[in-house]
Structure 1
């Protein structure tokens, strides 16, 4: 649970999801508070359809849900803001924070980046994401609903807002300027105009590219990346190393690509084990969409008489998997949560894998050498074996004992 956030409409006790008492990371930052304070002090009218994009843990949505928003005549009574997020964890954090603030669940509309955007946007508030591509995609998708009267305000920490960020707003929506910095946060003000909206061009996302020739069964095959998914235009070196050292005989059981990203690893093992059931899991909605398109592009006849099954899940790691229901887990865990470096996600992934694996089942992990995942694996599994290594990466294996 983070320190309370004070906003013009009250004080809010907020948490990330899932809650972890060992983590001291806040569920809001100075850029959230700056934007909310500006809305109140400037008298910005919260009228019509209010849309919040990129709200990391629901701080903006929760505060705005208690603000005096005048909904359009076509909206249901009491309709509050609409949130659009690419993250399952952010969405679940928002649900919990809304409930904690006493907000009725049906008064806020929660959408994902893969859902159809609203038909009209009168106030657009953007928490600038780490991924410039994700910002580009969302501005393109929302542009048809934006009009010259739409109030558009972005927010972020100074280190997150670059010239390229401002150029995206200017190229897709209209003239853009920034505020003075406060507590290392800055606001972006954009004035949509019809000429820019009409000349913005096509949305370049999702993007496709061909894999190199040195990655085994995937050589020359197609990868599909939705905006915001890691390595949008080339194979990253960690995944390339992992592909060279995957299990040689994965068998025909149930295999999970945990934190699947664009699905390259899961697709590779599906090709190597055509009778296996492969489950692609990620907390990112665009990642799972990418994984499904990558898989379908390379196994168009899967799920048919030729055998082979695939499932695509958005969720919190292996939560929801029955104990001892998985034979093999493949994992390239992230070690960042937005701008913070943390091993919390990896620890949860490893612990979830141990619960889900059958006795004798294996977890294979790739990671940077300096992260010392072998120590964490030994703590959770009681064992860890080095499969391969180079100057930067290691592939480790842990076995679920009986």
Structure 2
């Protein structure tokens, strides 16, 4: 099975086991943090492999391949593994916290093995793991670096490992108005595109609403604060770590509107119907390449989920080609505002117009 021929970091992560540099444990299994599916996982058996993934599309892909998946626990449980694999994120505080979790999840005598692209911080990631784990060994291929520890008896620097374990914990931002954490989109600030959209939300929006790609909840909170006739709001977010914080950030509105939170890949469609949809859709893949197809799919899903006459309020980078998708799926489309490279668009679902699927 070749789920993603382009995931060279995954391929390089498993290289030491394929070339004989490392041996897969005979017993006890392995924990794979930030796991992703791809053909390298299917080139041979990996007995006892358990995958952890908080990003819904990746978790779904792993499950479709028959791999056991657990959510992001954010702290090590009682289970310890003789091998812990890691695909660290680029954000350094989140990455350091993940290395600390990997060490805490490693059984005595076990190893941690990690891989990063050279352009994604491979050298600094290797240095960080060495700081808390001791000497590491490495191989380079496919413009990536895989690096691993010696057999461990705990952290080489326990105090630093404990400090790093807290590096990505939730914390107040925007003068304490919201809670967020490193690694999330625009984690320490209000994204200027979302701010622009919030500023232009009309007060007459009413009924049941949805926020597609809700993140840690800023846009949803602004919608409820600015639009008193919204009676229910469903938040759809693919990253469980963000959705957890959206629950916290929206808790003050629980008496004002019915709230529901969905760990969901919006591109798979929605089963509910809404009067209002707001969205700042993602437009990047894991490798940071532009993916305007994701935004176009969000637009189509919004049109399918809206009641006739329902309204979509969307913000996007000005250069992204969404106009054709909007024209195909909506009866009325208008540009509302532009600023700093972003555009706000309102689109109204026509009562007699079928939507593309």
TM range (shorter): 0.7 to 0.9
- CA distance in structure 2 between the partners assigned to 1:63 and 1:293 by the alignment: 42
The alpha carbon displacement at 1:206 in A equals: 2.7
The alpha carbon displacement at 1:158 in A equals: 2.0
**1:94 is the counterpart of 2:74:** no
- CA distance in structure 1 between the partners assigned to 2:282 and 2:221 by the alignment: 19
**1:338 is the counterpart of 2:286:** yes
1:350 aligns with 299
Contact 1:131 1:228 in 2 (8 A): yes
Counterpart pick for 1:368 among 297, 317, 334: 317
**1:143 is the counterpart of 2:97:** no
Q: Alignment length, in residue pairs?
A: 342
**1:262 is the counterpart of 2:216:** yes
Structure 1 residue matching 2:183: 3-state secondary structure: coil
1:102 aligns with none
- CA distance in structure 2 between the partners assigned to 1:221 and 1:379 by the alignment: 42
1:247 aligns with 202
- CA distance in structure 2 between the partners assigned to 1:128 and 1:205 by the alignment: 13
Contact 2:198 2:219 in 1 (8 A): yes
- CA distance in structure 2 between the partners assigned to 1:228 and 1:27 by the alignment: 25
Superimposed CA distance per residue, residues 192-249 of structure 1 (whole angstroms, 9 cap, x where no aligned partner):
45432354233133333342xxxxxxxx552222342111222222222222122323
- CA distance in structure 2 between the partners assigned to 1:210 and 1:31 by the alignment: 32
- CA distance in structure 2 between the partners assigned to 1:242 and 1:279 by the alignment: 18
Structure 1's 128 and 145: CA in aligned 2 closer, same or farther, altered over 3 A?
Answer: closer
What TM-score results when the alignment is normalised by the length of structure 1?
Answer: 0.77
The alpha carbon displacement at 1:49 in A equals: 3.0
Structure 1's 195 and 117: CA in aligned 2 closer, same or farther, altered over 3 A?
Answer: closer
The aligned runs of 1:261-340 (5 Å cut-off) are 261-273=215-227, 276-296=231-251, 299=252, 302-303=253-254, 306-317=255-266, 319=268, 321-322=270-271, 325-339=273-287, 340=289
The alpha carbon displacement at 1:162 in A equals: 3.8
Structure 1's 205 and 158: CA in aligned 2 closer, same or farther, altered over 3 A?
Answer: closer
Structure 1's 184 and 205: CA in aligned 2 closer, same or farther, altered over 3 A?
Answer: closer
Contact 2:84 2:112 in 1 (8 A): yes
The aligned runs of 1:2-401 (5 Å cut-off) are 13-15=1-3, 26-42=4-20, 44-47=22-25, 48-59=28-39, 61-63=41-43, 66-67=45-46, 69=47, 80-98=48-66, 108-114=67-73, 117-118=76-77, 119-147=79-107, 149-179=109-139, 181-191=140-150, 192=152, 193-202=154-163, 203-211=166-174, 220=175, 222-251=177-206, 253-273=207-227, 276-296=231-251, 299=252, 302-303=253-254, 306-317=255-266, 319=268, 321-322=270-271, 325-339=273-287, 340-401=289-350
Structure 1 unaligned blocks of 5 or more? 1-12, 16-25, 70-79, 99-107, 212-219
Structure 2 residue matching 1:276: 3-state secondary structure: strand
- CA distance in structure 2 between the partners assigned to 1:63 and 1:51 by the alignment: 18
2:354 aligns with none
Structure 1's 190 and 246: CA in aligned 2 closer, same or farther, altered over 3 A?
Answer: farther
Contact 1:281 1:313 in 2 (8 A): yes
The alpha carbon displacement at 1:125 in A equals: 1.2
- CA distance in structure 2 between the partners assigned to 1:290 and 1:62 by the alignment: 34
Structure 1's 333 and 224: CA in aligned 2 closer, same or farther, altered over 3 A?
Answer: same
What TM-score results when the alignment is normalised by the length of structure 2?
Answer: 0.86
Contact 2:173 2:179 in 1 (8 A): no
- CA distance in structure 1 between the partners assigned to 2:53 and 2:167 by the alignment: 19
**Is 229-238 or 353-362 further displaced after alignment?**
229-238
Structure 1's 96 and 170: CA in aligned 2 closer, same or farther, altered over 3 A?
Answer: same
CA RMSD of aligned residues (A): 2.5
- CA distance in structure 2 between the partners assigned to 1:279 and 1:318 by the alignment: 16
